[in-house]
Every structure is written in C-alpha cells, then in structure tokens.
Amino acid sequence: MSDSPKVLILMGSVSDADLMRTCWQQLAEFGVESEVRVASAHRTPDLVAELVGGAAARGVGVIIAGAGWAAHLAGAVAANTTLPVIAVPLATSSLQGLDALLSSVQMPAGVPVASTSPGRSVNAAILAAQILALSDEALSARIADLRASQAEKIRNLTVDQT
Amino acid sequence: MSDSPKVLILMGSVSDADLMRTCWQQLAEFGVESEVRVASAHRTPDLVAELVGGAAARGVGVIIAGAGWAAHLAGAVAANTTLPVIAVPLATSSLQGLDALLSSVQMPAGVPVASTSPGRSVNAAILAAQILALSDEALSARIADLRASQAEKIRNLTVDQT
Amino acid sequence: MSDSPKVLILMGSVSDADLMRTCWQQLAEFGVESEVRVASAHRTPDLVAELVGGAAARGVGVIIAGAGWAAHLAGAVAANTTLPVIAVPLATSSLQGLDALLSSVQMPAGVPVASTSPGRSVNAAILAAQILALSDEALSARIADLRASQAEKIRNLTVDQT
Amino acid sequence: MSDSPKVLILMGSVSDADLMRTCWQQLAEFGVESEVRVASAHRTPDLVAELVGGAAARGVGVIIAGAGWAAHLAGAVAANTTLPVIAVPLATSSLQGLDALLSSVQMPAGVPVASTSPGRSVNAAILAAQILALSDEALSARIADLRASQAEKIRNLTVDQT
Amino acid sequence: MSDSPKVLILMGSVSDADLMRTCWQQLAEFGVESEVRVASAHRTPDLVAELVGGAAARGVGVIIAGAGWAAHLAGAVAANTTLPVIAVPLATSSLQGLDALLSSVQMPAGVPVASTSPGRSVNAAILAAQILALSDEALSARIADLRASQAEKIRNLTVDQT
Amino acid sequence: MSDSPKVLILMGSVSDADLMRTCWQQLAEFGVESEVRVASAHRTPDLVAELVGGAAARGVGVIIAGAGWAAHLAGAVAANTTLPVIAVPLATSSLQGLDALLSSVQMPAGVPVASTSPGRSVNAAILAAQILALSDEALSARIADLRASQAEKIRNLTVDQT
Amino acid sequence: MSDSPKVLILMGSVSDADLMRTCWQQLAEFGVESEVRVASAHRTPDLVAELVGGAAARGVGVIIAGAGWAAHLAGAVAANTTLPVIAVPLATSSLQGLDALLSSVQMPAGVPVASTSPGRSVNAAILAAQILALSDEALSARIADLRASQAEKIRNLTVDQT
Amino acid sequence: MSDSPKVLILMGSVSDADLMRTCWQQLAEFGVESEVRVASAHRTPDLVAELVGGAAARGVGVIIAGAGWAAHLAGAVAANTTLPVIAVPLATSSLQGLDALLSSVQMPAGVPVASTSPGRSVNAAILAAQILALSDEALSARIADLRASQAEKIRNLTVDQT
C-alpha cells in the first residue's frame, strides 16, 4: 500500500457509481487508498462542504468529483478547498456530456478545476496518482509500469486484415 | 412602492453589473424593491450561503442570479433555499453563453432553477415580478400595462420600405 | 389539499405525456391541483389562447408547457398571459433537446419564460410549487420536507467500493 | 408590375429591418408587390393572427417571416394560415443564428415552414418569387434572367493571382 | 386527382426511402401526383441535372430533395432549375442531422432552398401542396381539411392523469 | 519551376479571394503552377463541370476548392473528377465555419473529399504539393525544407518572460 | 496487383478495427497493397514515429490514420513525415465524432492533414487510391470503373412508391 | 522563492504568448520558478519530446501546455511523461475554443490530461501550484492567501444600483 495521501472520490448521484467504478479500482491497483462518497452540490451542499472541509485533516491529498448534467460538483468542491480537484464530467443527459464538460471546465479565475474527458473516470485516477507520485517514488514507478505495459500490448497487436 | 417581498439580485462578478443593470432598473419601474450583491459560487461560497440563507427573513421572495462561464451561481443559490430562483446566463466567455446556459439550466431532479435567455436580465426582472404579482394585484396591473404598451408600440410601427 | 391556485400543464403532443407524467404526479404529492391538456402552438393556436386566456379565471396560478422540436408552446402561452410560465423542453427530435431548449429559452425582452432542463418535468412541478408556496406556508413546508428527505437519503448512502 | 399575388413580409422587431431590407428590395426588382409589417409572435400575437388571417383576402400569396432568438414568428404565422410560409432566421443573439434556425425549422408534422439560411433575406424573396412564378410566366422569366446574369458575372471574373 | 403540376421527389440514396415514404404518401392523399427517383449529387450529378432539367417540361411544379450527411442534393437541384426546391435534411450520420441541415439551408444569395426539419418528410409534402394550392382551390381545401382534422383530434384528447 | 502537374484552385465567390491567396502564393513558392478561377456550385454548375471535366487534359493533378456557408464546391468538383480534391471550408457565415466544414467533409461513400481546417488555405497548398511530390523529388525536397525551416524558427524562439 | 506505393493504415486502438476494415478491403479491391497497424499517438508515440519515419523507405506513399476522441493520430503522423496523411475521425465517444473531426482537421499552418468524414473509412481508401493513381493509369481506370458502376447502380434503381 | 519543483510552460506558437502570460506571472507571484518555451506538437515533435523527456531531471514537477485549434500539445506532452500535465485550450480559431477544448480533454484511457477552461491560463498556474503545494506548506499558505484576498475583495464590493 502507498504511503501517499488518499484520494476522496465524490459523485453527485448514486446512479453514477457504475461510471466511476474504474476510478477507485485503478487507485486500488496503484495501492492508493480512496474514500468514496455520494454528495450532491445541489441536494446536499452542506455534506459537500463537510466532506471537503475536513479532507486534508483526514489525509486526503486529491479530490475527484464525478457528475453529469450541470455538473457543479467539482466546482463546489474547489470552492471549499485548495487541494487539487479533478472533474469527471458524465454523459448522463440527452446532451451527451457537453453540458457536464462545460459546467466542469469553465471555472472562474482563481478557482481551477482539472477536467478529464466525459466518462473517462480511469484517467482521473491516473491523474490523481501522477500528482501524488511527485513525492512517492514507488507510486511513480507503478504508473510508469502501467504505461509501459499498455504500450507493450499495443506494440504486439496484429490486425486480422481481411 | 409595491408591498410585495423584495428581490435579491446576485451576480458572480462585479464585471457582470452592466449586463444585469436592466434587471434592477425594471424592478424599480415596477416599484419592486431589490437588493443587489456580488457573490461568487466559487470564490465566496460562504457569502452566497449567508446572503441566501437569511433572505426569506429579510423579506426576499425571489432570487435572481446572473453569471457567465460555468455559471453555478443560480444552482448554488437554489441549493440553499426553497424560494424560486431565476438564472440569467451571461455570454461572457468565448463560447457565447452556451456554457452558462447549460450550466444554469441542467439542474438535477429536486432543485429547479428557472433559466432565462443568455443576457436578457430584463426578463428575469419581469419573471420575478410575475411571480410576486400572484399576490399583488397592483403589481399585476403594472405588468399588464408594460405588456400592453409594448404591444401598442409595435402596432403603430411602420417600416420605411425603401 | 393545498389552498393554492392550481397549475395548468400543457403539452404539445399526446406522445409527450410519458415525459410529462412526473410533473403532475409531483404536484399531486404536494397537494397542488393540476389541469392537464394537450394543446399545440402550431396545430391548435386557438386552443392554446383559449386555455390560457381563461386560466386565471379558472384559478390557475402557474402554467407549465412541455414541448419538443421548435418548442414554441411555452412562448405561445407567455404571449397570452402574464402568469408565470415554465417551459419543459423535450428531447424528442434527433437534436437531443438543444432545439427545444433554445426555442424555449431565447424569448424576447418583455415576455419571459422560465426554462427548466430538457426532460426534467419534475423540476417544473417543484418550481411551480415554490412559486405558489410564497403565499402558502403549508406547501412551503412540504417542499422543504422533500428537499430534506432527498438530502437525508444521500447522506445515508454508501457505495459498494469493489 | 407583376399580376401575381403580393408577399407579406413580417419581422419580429423593428431592429430587424436592416437585415430584411434586401427582401423587399429584391421583390420590388421582380415587380412583385410586398406589404411590410412589424409583428411579434410574443408581444403582439393578436396582430400576427390579424395580419395573417386576412392575408389571402388582401391578395397575399406567400408570407415571409424574419426573426431572431427563439424565432417563433414563422411558426406562429404558419399556425394561422395554409399559405406557404418562408422563415428568415436572424443571427441577432449571442448564439449566432443557430437558435433562430432551429426555432424556425423544427416544425411539427402538419405545419411546415420553409426555412432559408440565417440572415439571407434576399433568398426568401427569390423563393417567394419562384413560388409565385409557377403561375406567372413573366415573373419566371425575370427570375431566370437574374440567375443568368449572376452566372455571367461569375464566368467573366478573373482573380488577381498575386 | 388534382390538376396541379406534379412533384418530383429525389433522394440521395435508396436507403433514404423509408425516411421519405411519408412524403409521397401524403401527396397521394392530397391527390397530387409524384415522381420518385434516387439520384445522388455526388455519385450521379448528370442524372440530377437530367431529371431536374427536364422537370418543368414533364409537368413538375415543385421538387423535393431528401438527403443526409453533406446533403448537397437540394442545392444541386436548385442549381439546375428555378422551380421551388424543398430540402428534407436526413439525420443519417453520427451528427444527428445538424450536418444535413446546415448543408441544405446555408445556400448562397441567388439560389434559395426551402429547408424543412431533419426527417420531417411529411412536411415537405404539405409545403409542396401549399405551393401548388395557390392555383388549385380544391387542393387548398384538402390542406385546410387536414389541418382542421388535426386540430380536432387534439381538441378532443384527454390525458390519463395518473 | 516544378515539372509536376499544376493545381486548379476554385473558389465559390470572388469575395473569398483574400482567404484563398496564401494558397496560390504557397504553391508559387514551391514552384508549382496554379490556375485560379471563381466558380460556384450553385450559381454556375456548368462552369464547375466544364473547368473540372477538362482539368486532367489541361495538366491539372490536384484540385483545391474554397467555399463558405453550405460549401458544396468541393463536393461538386469531386462529383466530376477522380483527381484528388481538397476542400478549404471558409468561416464566412455567422456559424463560424462549422457549416462549411460539415458541408465539405461529410461526403458519401465513393466520392471522397480531403478537408483541411476552416480558413487554412495555405495547408491545402502544402497538401497538394505533398501529393504531387510523390513523383517529383525536387518538390519533395522543397517541402522538407519548408518544414525544417519552420521547425528551426521555433527551436530558436525565446519568450519574453515578464 | 498495382505497381503503386503501398498505403500504411494506422489506427489508435484495436477496437477501431471494425470501423477501419472497409479501408483496407477497398484498397485490396483496387489492388493496392496496405500495411495495417495499431499505434497510439498517446500510448505509443515512439511506435508512431518509428512506423512513420521508415514508411517511405518501406515503399509507403500515403498514410491513413483512424482514431476517435481527441484524435491526434493523424496529426502525430503528419508531424513525422511529408507524405500525404489522411485522417478518418471515428465517432467512438459520447460526442459523436465532432471531437475526433475537430481534433483531426484543425491542424496548424505548415502541417496539413486531409480529413474525411467521421467513420467513412472507405473514402480514405478511395482518396489514397486517387492520390496514387496520379502516376498509375491502371489504378486510375479501376477508380473510374468503381465510380461508373456506382452511378450505374443508382441510375437503375426504382423506388417502391407505396 | 519556493523550494518546490519548477513548472515547464509550453505553448504551441509564439503568438500564444499574450494569452499565456498570466500563467508565468501567477507562478512568479507564488514564488514558483517556471521555464517557458515554444514547442509545437506538429512542427517540432522532437523538441517537445526533448523538452519533456528531460524535464524531471531538470527539476520540473508539473507541465502546462497552451495551444489552440487541434490542440495536441498537452496530449503530446503527456505521451512523453508521467508528470502531471495541464492543458490550456486557446480560443484562437473561428470555432472559439471548442476545437481546442475537445482536442485537449478527450484523451484516451491511460494518458490523462488536466484541462482548464479555454484561455484561463492563470488557472493552470494556480492548479500547478496546488499540486506542488501538497509537499510545500509555504506555497500552500500563499495559495490560501490568494483565495482569501479574492473572497475579501468580493465581500466588500457594492454595486452602484442606478
């Protein structure tokens, strides 16, 4: 298990869990501990503030927020912390994630959010790990290994050309 | 002056004031009192919660929130009150208001926001007045007068057909 | 049952009924009476004018209009009343609701429509109730209860972190 | 002057006149009479119904409607007549005419509108003339002449290739 | 059967036939004769020119062109005739008809196309009939009947409000 | 001067010349001859067919077509030749080139067009040269030189970091 | 078999093979040899550089790159060669290919990519063949034959007009 | 001056410097050292690989990449490192940054990029600082100070309500 701080993963609705699952699974593979909670920027603003406000004290280093529609969750998290915040916009409305992407990424000057692509929750996990790896060499090596093994797999592929 | 509750007008940045001015001007013409404040969902979440949480007690009946980019202000307001909340998305980014519109309107089930069109802050004022007019006959008459005078002006227009 | 005015729910086509059902169901849960009719801005403009023109006299306080495609219904309603009008754009064309959203929300100065998000008809009901609750304390309490119970449910969620 | 029916040109706002001017100018060049009026689907629905309802009796054969934003004018006209209705969406909002185009073209089954491109009011005039020319040979010849002279001009162009 | 000119219906691909079927069916209900052909602006430009060039001589009064993707068919037709040309953009690519709509409607000054909404081929038929009805009173009456019966049906609808 | 075939550059309107100028200038720098003409897919379809049909016989190897709005020019060219056709969509309408891009690129199976980005006419020239360079080593060397000198310039840049 | 150079077909992921299959099948029908490899601009940048850098020496004349999402593959290929590069954007994300199209086509001045439409990999094959056919008359004849047979098939179609 | 690793700021073109300036200015205010270079993913892929490959060894902890159009720079950087990479999409084409945003954010699984909003280069600086602050308490305090002073400024604003 990594000595790094842990990652707090929030999602706006319990129905987002299937889309966010690869996020904590990837962190677990890296040996990074994660804390997973449902908290809605609009339905439970106090819970968001509470979970985020005490995060650093609980040993959290990075926060990931997955949400669809007018995805305010990452922004609401960022408003309550200066820890790095990663958004995973979710393509759960009829507008295919363009709404969630713009709601996540278009933050005002002073309060940044790091947006990944709609639905790619695994990348949020890897980005969080890359951040934590700045002071965790073992984690850094695990990330490099993942990258190398992905590349190796692709290098060895052949396409059935019929 | 109307006996109706007053309207709280929030904007996310002081640079939005020019775009929001027709809002309080129209309310003033209707004789509806307004309280105008800058409060950012991301830079001052506590101020938003504070201004909104005590609004009903200060005699506020409707809240209008104008913001651009990832316009979370109306949503952050709605998260803190059950008063009707009206959004004025502002077309202040390179994406021409589509970002602010989607960030305002795509609210989750349970926490509605009433969105008007990007930049039409005067309509937010009229909508607020229409809501207050449900229990204020004099105000209702003033709205009907505005509508009638607009129609009259159009009826009397002639176009220089050259 | 609430003493509040009732809500008139119009939809542009009978095929929209399934998308609008949560609207009158939510109002019924709040004890707010609703009147539900199909009326098309383009196929039955007279019927729209007739239903809307007489609405206040029938005890209607708020009008909700659900429509897809070039969703003119809310606008056509607003043109015939100064009661608050709420639009529910419906994502029924190939363009996923962007057409209905823009057709609903981009109203001219003087004739506002309150747009909710494509397909979220339950939010139109809650918004209507929030408006009526300004002069109906019992209704206001019921809305606050719904909000609290939603928040409570989320607070108690745990995510199966495998 | 043509013996053809005349063309009724409506625009939603007097500020649209500059964008619509080429429309009546082109009709005048074709010798087709036009009647130009401002009438708003939302601010003066009765005026629209009045102007359109009596149009055929006044010798109108085709109706052109120019409007921006949630451009309902052509649809409101079409709802009140079975004469052919041509829409000129105008790019007058921050959304560059996409709003007006979708609001104009996405009509429900049974009530068609013929949409031209955002801002090309001259094409609405030519389309109206093409319709009227089906029973007016002299007009048909004038349209063919315009087309031929446009083609001739292009054939004779040389480009300064430096 | 109507004495009116007939309608030439072109489609860019035989796979578009299912989407265009309501077009000739509606014309047949109106008693308007139609000629239906597949002709591609890109794969058979000569066939398009041939079918369109001789159309007036074959008694064609209006041409309808249905196509998807970069829907050039209506434009290619309009380039070869001064008869009114109606486009039916088809939502057959991954871009949901926005590509076909813009390719159809954004015509240059001088060569108009009348665009209907993506996939609404029935409206192209009704628009064609409205054009032909300018000199065919019986056809005009049939269109008015269709409109009236549609309205009647809507007026009599009741919604199961459960 | 190159021994390669020449490049035919068409543009849909003489007003496009300023946007297309870098195209023939770049070809001239490469020593590739170009023939520049205005020809509209909609206003002069015969001229397009004529210029394109005889192109190979005149020594043309590649055709470049620049057009805005419903940019059918490249498609109309491709319909009349099996030479490689390069499109330069132009951002000349209110829709900022998205219309021209989709109208250019969404070609049907069997008739490809090679689209470059809206307004980058210099890239069409370079692409044409790359195609011709497959059998012209001197030209290939000139392209490699341009690329190398661009890279060299960037390598030597320093940014004033104040 | 053609004497022409061969075509290198790259795809960003092995899951793209089904969408790219018509590409090499069409080349095979033309008798053009192709080399098909998976290589990712982001996961295996070295492999891309390696496959592309040595391509000309292996007898490759044209390179086709199919990729979805932020489709950088064609751009990464073009950065490493002056051979003509054709992009096939793939509609594999929730954004329906608009992301891949813009990522492929919006190349900077100096490094062109020839983009075809999202998902039309057969057209990339035909475009590649058209390029190679500039110095291969037999191939040119085969392309003309394909075009002629497509046209013939369309000319002979009849539509079941019921 | 901070003891933290430094930040490498790359931009795709020297013309992007004005849009990126707030980035290094903000880092300087935080006392974080930055290294600023122009390097193009397409025109100088080797320079990108060189600058990025040796970055960790030069003491770089975070890399920021600003680019417009098909903004591949951040992706090309991420392909060559496992350090955290932050993208600043730039709205420099006619498509207003939507192209650059999608090209930056839609990265494949395994190679994340942290995207900020189009043109907000100051937020990239703050995000980089937040990342470095995980192991630099003094820097963390400076970020908190900036946030507090921004909030304080907003709290003290009054709007001239005329």
CA distance G43 to chain A (A): 6
Query: Is residue E1 pLDDT above 80, yes or no?
Result: no
pLDDT in tens, G138-160: 999 999 999 999 999 999 999 98
Phi–psi pair at E48, nearest 5 degrees: -60, -50
Q: Is A36 on the interface with B (CB under 8 A)?
A: no
pLDDT in tens, C91-137: 999 999 999 999 999 999 999 999 999 999 999 999 999 999 999 99
Query: Is residue B1 pLDDT above 70, yes or no?
Result: no
Nearest to G155 among E44, E70, E94 (CB): E44
Q: Which residue of H has its CA nearest to A118?
A: H106
Query: Is residue H1 pLDDT above 80, yes or no?
Result: no
Share of chain E above pLDDT 70, in %: 99
- Whole-model pTM? 0.98
Nearest to D102 among C75, C95, C108 (CB): C95
Task: Return the H-helix or E-strand segment holding G46.
Answer: helix G45-53
Contact B103 A102 (CB under 8 A): yes
Q: Is F80 on the interface with E (CB under 8 A)?
A: yes
CA distance C109 to chain A (A): 25
Nearest to D158 by CA among F38, A103, G117, H31: F38
CA atoms within 13 A on the CB side of B75: 34
Q: Which amino acid is at D20?
A: M
**Interface mutation vs chain D, best among E23, E96, E123, most D CBs within 10 Å:** E123
Neighbour-count burial of B85, counting CB atoms closer than 10 A to its CB (0-12 exposed, 13-18 middle, 19+ buried) = buried
Q: Would you kindly state where each structural domain of chain B is located, as residue ranges?
A: 6-155
What is the arithmetic mean of pLDDT over A86-97?
96
Phi–psi pair at D130, nearest 5 degrees: -60, -35
Residue labelled with tokens 């060039």: E53
β-strand partners of H68: H90
Phi–psi pair at A49, nearest 5 degrees: -60, -40
Range of lowest pLDDT (A127-131, C6-10, C158-162, E18-22)? C158-162
For residue C1, what pLDDT is reported?
Answer: 64
For residue E39, what pLDDT is reported?
Answer: 98
Touch test D–A: 3 Cβ pairs or more under 8 Å = no
- How far is Cα B27 from Cα B60, in angstroms, rounded to an integer? 13
pLDDT in tens, B136-155: 999 999 999 999 999 999 99
- How far is Cα E86 from Cα H154, in angstroms, rounded to an integer? 55
- How far is Cα G104 from Cα E15, in angstroms, rounded to an integer? 29
Contact C102 D103 (CB under 8 A): yes
> How big is the C-D interface in CB pairs under 8 Å?
98
DSSP chain H: ---SPEEEEEESSGGGHHHHHHHHHHHHHTT--EEEEE--TTT-HHHHHHHHHTTGGGTEEEEEEEEESS--HHHHHHTT-SS-EEEEEE--STTTTHHHHHHHH-PPTT---EE--TT-HHHHHHHHHHHHGGG-HHHHHHHHHHHHHHHHHHHT------
- How far is Cα E9 from Cα E77, in angstroms, rounded to an integer? 11
Q: Which residue of A has its CA nearest to B80?
A: A45
Query: Is residue E2 pLDDT above 80, yes or no?
Result: no
- How far is Cα H113 from Cα H88, in angstroms, rounded to an integer? 10
For residue F3, what pLDDT is reported?
Answer: 80
Query: Is residue G1 pLDDT above 90, yes or no?
Result: no
CA distance E107 to chain F (A): 6
pLDDT confidence bin for D24, thresholds 50/70/90:
very high
CA-to-CA dists, residue B43 to B46, B113, C137, D129, angstroms: 9, 21, 34, 58
Is-contact H97 H89, C-beta < 8 A? Answer: yes
- Spell out the CATH class of H6-155: alpha beta
With vertex at residue B138, the alpha carbon angle to CA B134 and CA B139, rounded to the nearest 5 degrees, is 60
Contact F82 G107 (CB under 8 A): no
Under DSSP, the state recorded for G8 is E
Is-contact F115 G105, C-beta < 8 A? Answer: yes
Q: Is A37 on the interface with C (CB under 8 A)?
A: yes
For residue E3, what pLDDT is reported?
Answer: 80
* Contacts B160 to D, Cβ<8 Å: 17
Rounded to the nearest integer, the mean pLDDT of chain B is 97
Contacts of E148 (CB under 8 A, 6+ apart): none
Query: Is residue D1 pLDDT above 80, yes or no?
Result: no
Query: What string of pLDDT tens digits covers the 162 residues of chain F?
Result: 678 899 999 999 999 999 999 999 999 999 999 999 999 999 999 999 999 999 999 999 999 999 999 999 999 999 999 999 999 999 999 999 999 999 999 999 999 999 999 999 999 999 999 999 999 999 999 999 999 999 999 999 999 888
Determine the 3-state secondary structure of B87 from DSSP: strand
Contact B123 C105 (CB under 8 A): no
Contact F34 D118 (CB under 8 A): no
* ipTM score: 0.97
Edge-first strand listing for the sheet containing G6-11: F34-38, F6-11, F60-68, F85-90, F114-115, G114-115, G85-90, G60-68, G6-11, G34-38
Share of chain F above pLDDT 90, in %: 96
CA distance H111 to chain A (A): 7
Q: Is H38 on the interface with G (CB under 8 A)?
A: no
Nearest to G94 among A97, A151, A155 (CB): A97
For residue D75, what pLDDT is reported?
Answer: 98
How many CB atoms are closer than 10 A to CB E28? 15
Helices H45-53 + F137-155 axis angle, to 10: 40
pLDDT confidence bin for H26, thresholds 50/70/90:
very high
- How far is Cα G72 from Cα B157, in angstroms, rounded to an integer? 55
Q: Which amino acid is at G95?
A: L
CA distance D38 to chain E (A): 23
For residue A1, what pLDDT is reported?
Answer: 65
* Contacts F43 to E, Cβ<8 Å: 79, 108, 110-111
Q: Where are the beta strands (DSSP E) in chain E?
A: 6-11, 34-38, 60-68, 85-90, 114-115
- How far is Cα H113 from Cα H159, in angstroms, rounded to an integer? 39
Contact E123 D132 (CB under 8 A): no
β-strand partners of D63: D8, D85
* Contacts E69 to C, Cβ<8 Å: none
* Contacts G105 to H, Cβ<8 Å: 70
Q: Is D94 on the interface with F (CB under 8 A)?
A: no
Contact G102 H95 (CB under 8 A): yes
Query: Is residue B162 pLDDT above 90, yes or no?
Result: no
How many CB atoms are closer than 10 A to CB E74? 31
Touch test D–G: 3 Cβ pairs or more under 8 Å = no
Phi–psi pair at E87, nearest 5 degrees: -100, 140
pLDDT in tens, E45-98: 999 999 999 999 999 999 999 999 999 999 999 999 999 999 999 999 999 999
For residue B2, what pLDDT is reported?
Answer: 75
